[in-house]
Amino acid sequence: MRDLFYDLVRRNGMAVSIYLMLAVSLWVFILIILPQLTMLDYSFRFNLPPAKIGGPEDVYTLEQYRYFFQGSGASDGLNTLDIGILFKTLLAAVFVTVFDLIICYPVAFVLAKSSTGAKARLLVLALIVPYWINEILRAFAFRILFGATGVINETGMGLGLWDTPIDFIRQDVALYAGLAYAYILLMIFPLYNAIESLDRNQIEAARDMGANWWQVHAKVVIPYAKPGIASGMTMVFMLTSGALAAPQILGGPSNLWFTQLVYQWFNSGGNWPRGSAYAMVLLIVCIALVLLVMRLFKVSIGEIKQ
């Protein structure tokens, strides 16, 4: 920390460095640490009426976490409904993350190595401009696009690919497509930053030694870009797991995202301690999965800071 401060002072001066350190510290503490600590405290409380909060009944308990694992049934049973929804949400988030990686890797490579000057700026602008539209409006646009009378169904039936409208909403196609599109920039730019710093001579050397296109990427580009891949996948996975607007708008009637359970406990159910417990379960499981995958692929937290 001391070395970081001295480096900031050397580059920006004492006044600017103190301002930056204070601003970042307040940002992290007030907007990140304090709300999480408050939610953690709530998750170990009973759901009491306001008049009883702070009284003798307001004690710490594991009741909210017990409910997540066992529900309101017998003590030897599992709350298979909520646990299943959590598992389905995480599985869907993994699918969206991998799908984004497959789509974004070629785009990032072309942007980093095949585009320069005005062409590169035009491509970046083309990627960013659609995100000037509000996320909720984009979700509704996807609902219209994948609807029974939407562009995709009308085009497919017009070309004779299918005879009756396909229910893309009920089959979760619209949801996965909307989530993949919502966070696609968070995958492209970490990949771009990593690939752009790769010396082009390494690619040329691999080609001169007889490596084909697949070998160049498998042996040279992807190992070098592994921190960028890990960074992009982490952000997309965490945000997809915690998404709410897209599942609410694009999710089918039989599909329930885990964040919708959290929302229901906080709002419809009016049970903030249970909503906090569910939110903490989601946070802990997501962080554990990310750390596990980073360990399996031998990527450290320090490497993904770029």
* Helix (H), strand (E), coil (C) string for the chain: CHHHHHHHHHHHCHHHHHHHHHHHHHHHHHHHHHHHHHHHHHHCECCCCHHHCCCCCCCECCHHHHHHHHCCCCCCCCCHHHHHHHHHHHHHHHHHHHHHHHHHHHHHHHHHHHCCHHHHHHHHHHHHHHHHCCHHHHHHHHHHHHCCCCHHHHHHHHCCCCCCCCCCCCCCHHHHHHHHHHCCHHHHHHHHHHHHCCCHHHHHHHHHCCCCHHHHHHHHHHHHCHHHHHHHHHHHHHHHHCCCHHHHHHCCCCCCCHHHHHHHHHCCCCCHHHHHHHHHHHHHHHHHHHHHHHHHCCCCHHHHHC
| Range of lowest pLDDT (2-11, 41-50, 70-79) | 2-11
When pLDDT is averaged across residues 209-221 and rounded to a whole number, the result is: 88
Residue 270 confidence class, pLDDT cut points 50, 70, 90 = confident
What confidence score (pLDDT) does residue 303 get? 65
Instruction: Check pLDDT > 80 for residue 261.
Output: yes
What is the arithmetic mean of pLDDT over 130-158? 90
Q: How many residues would you count in the chain?
A: 306
pLDDT digits (tens, 9 = 90+) for 193-206: 889 888 888 888 88
pLDDT value of position 17? 78
**pLDDT, position 262:** 95
| Higher per-residue pLDDT: 127 or 239 | 239
pLDDT of residue 117 exceeding 80, the answer is no
The correct answer on CATH 1.10.3720.10 for the domain covering 80-305 is yes
User: Distance between CA atoms of 190 and 193, rounded to whole angstroms?
Assistant: 5
Distance, in Å, from the CA atom of 28 to the CA atom of 22, rounded to the nearest integer, reads: 10
Identify whether the C-beta of residue 273 lies closer than 8 Å to the C-beta of residue 43.
yes
Across the range 102-109, mean pLDDT stands at 92
pLDDT value of position 183:
93
* Residue 170 and residue 253 in contact, taking contact as beta carbons nearer than 8 Å: yes
